[in-house]
Amino acid sequence: MDVHDLALAYSLSSIAGLRAGLTIAALSLAVHLHWLAAPPGMQWIGSDATLGIAAVLVVADFVADKVPGVDHVLHLVHAVLAPVAGGTAALVSDPALSDGNGTAIALAVAAGANALGVHGLRSSARAASTVTTFGALNPVVSIVEDVAALVALVLAFFVPILVAIAALLCTLAAILVVCRILARRLTRAA
């Protein structure tokens, strides 16, 4: 796996943590239009059926994530979908990977864990938004997430190393913020 493919895998798995369905839809479109060559066992992702299902799910996800209360249920569903989408994105990003290959399995697991971690940070931020604004800002936060994911997806296919660096920096910043918040709460509790 070369650096470009690894950066694409990391970028896409990070974006899957933010918008799993959108990531799969983008991958499906890229493979369908032959912009990306999927490994032999992953060709199904470029099928008409996968593209259609992914498009319907993206629209449903977009609408549901704007409804306070429903967005939190959707986040529970995404706790399962994000790792699957992240692992799938990583597998599709490198056409040299073969089915059952130990490297492919390790990459899929690592990418799934990355997507789950990003999703966890996203869910924590949404919960904080709900508590502080009684959910009033959640639709705005959702739109910001949509735009960020869409821009990152487009850029990931053209400059994956740049997107991977940005994703890593955003993740590290989010982790630092969460650690500071937890430290303050522990200090106040003590």
Q: What is the pLDDT of residues 101-115, one digit of tens each?
A: 778 888 889 999 999
Q: What is the pTM of this model?
A: 0.88
Q: What is the pLDDT of residue 126?
A: 85
Q: What is the pLDDT of residue 98?
A: 58
Which range marks the domain in which residue 26 is found?
3-189
Q: What is the pLDDT of residue 8?
A: 93
Q: What is the pLDDT of residue 136?
A: 87
Number of domains in the chain: 1
Tell me the torsion sign for CA atoms 45, 47, 49, 51. positive
Mean pLDDT, residues 23-45: 91
Q: What is the pLDDT of residue 178?
A: 80
The answer to whether residue 97 scores a pLDDT higher than 90 is no
